[in-house]
Amino acid sequence: MAKKRDLHRSPPTSGRRENQIKSSSRRPEITHSASSSGAIKVVAFFIVSSLIAIVTYWLTQSSPSHNNESYVYQRGLVTTDTNYQDILTENMKVSENASLRHYSYPVLGYITPWNSQGYEMAKRFNSKFTHLSPVCMTWDDYLLGIGYGYPVSIASQQTSLVLEGRHNADRGWISELKKTGEALILPRVVLEASPEELLRKKKQRNKAIDLIVTECKEMGYDGIVLESWSRWAAYGVLHDPSMRNLALQFVKQLGDALHSISSEKISGQKLQLVYVIGPPSSEKLQAHDFGPKDLETLSEVVDGFSLMTYDFSNPHNPGPNAPLKWIQIILQILLGASANRAQNIAPKIFLGINFYGNDFSLSRGGGAITGRDYLALLEKHRPALQWDKNSGEHVFFYPDDKDIKHAVFFPSLKSISLRLEEARSWGCGISIWEIGQGLDYFFDLL
């Protein structure tokens, strides 16, 4: 998430496994006598009635109630056989009860100021989320090299650390969220400080942690989402075993510090730490990759790992946003080798799901698009949408005004539902980048 592509992204169908109901075919044995046949009939009636009631109860518990099904399922919109007309007609329609949650594991939603619709979506669908992470910045901040989120960065004199970004926080919006919903508010913090200075010097580490904890106290936050691993990898420090150990120790120290402070929102709840991690670059882990051992090292002090399983393709290598098979491989690498790890750590993995898409020119690159861009393309070109089995995504093609062919990959109800089901099968949470970029009816799946 630490790249300028953040402007557009850029950090499971309700086909849940149904309980198999096996009703016994063995009939209850009843002793008959001539003098009590009437009483026996009454007893038999009640036994049969009880059996019917029990079976009916379990059937209703094992399959979703029609009344509780979301609008998009009732309308049959979660399908590979979708078309542009249905998307244009239905994309703003959701269930009347917008507060009903369909995904029982943690759901983290990112909100960015350059897609202001995210602020409205956070209020409208507040109860769908367990965590909300505002990314408070302006592009001026980014261009000045200060960073984004709530970045901790070295001041111009490079003698101390300063926390930038508070002036961008929308206190009124945060206060409204706290009053109307249960979602925890965890702003994103990006460490822009030089890791050589920050990690090697105890005073610098303590200062950075103190700044973050103080900010949470003064602003009434429920913790933070921390992004630092990608920055440290970019600096090249993770190849050094001693620096890598210091990096892990810093995260552990920060987690302990946050967990020592009580949340204002929930009695008994401590401030939380969600840590952003990128997907391993290959099955053979590289020195800079965040891998299974790192997960185990930090699992005691980190409340959630925001896994960036998106941005698989780019303008130089056009293709799907997040192929399902790739996601499955990533989860297998991180969780699959150990049953204990899968059981204990999986609930802390927040599988990344993109609400943005990409419009790739097949000869000149291209880039990310939001829901508004996508709908405009559908309206203009009226394309035939194709289901790509290999990636589990919808795609369509169109020629632009210069007759250059484009391929558009954008999330659909079906593609999102498959990823939710994958996360559910592992027992994982999800993280959405970001909620101002998608279509309204995506929230009906959550």
Domains of the chain: 4-12+61-445 (3.20.20.80)
Residue 30: pLDDT band (50, 70, 90) is very low
Say what angle helices 324-335 and 413-426 make with each other, to 10 degrees: 10
CA dihedral 236, 240, 246, 252 (to 10 degrees): 80
Q: What's the pLDDT tens digit per position in 37-85?
A: 443 443 344 444 444 443 333 333 333 333 468 999 999 999 999 999 9
Q: Of 436, 410, 368, 440, whose CA–CA distance to 5 is shortest?
A: 368
**The pLDDT value given to residue 69:** 82
What is the reported pTM?
0.82
**The pLDDT value given to residue 127:** 95
Q: Which residues lie across from 358 on neighbouring strands?
A: 368, 409
210, pLDDT greater than 90:
yes
Contacts of 158 (CB under 8 A, 6+ apart): 197
- The whole-angstrom separation of Cα 37 and Cα 373 is 75
- The whole-angstrom separation of Cα 356 and Cα 9 is 6
413, pLDDT greater than 90:
yes
- Provide the token pair at 354: 């993109």
**SS3 letters across 158-180:** CCCEEECCHHHCCHHHHHHHHHH
Fill in the DSSP letter of residue 279.
P
Q: Which residues lie across from 407 on neighbouring strands?
A: 360, 397
Contacts of 204 (CB under 8 A, 6+ apart): 161, 193, 197, 198
Average pLDDT, the chain: 82
Q: What's the pLDDT tens digit per position in 378-411?
A: 999 999 999 999 999 999 999 999 999 999 999 9
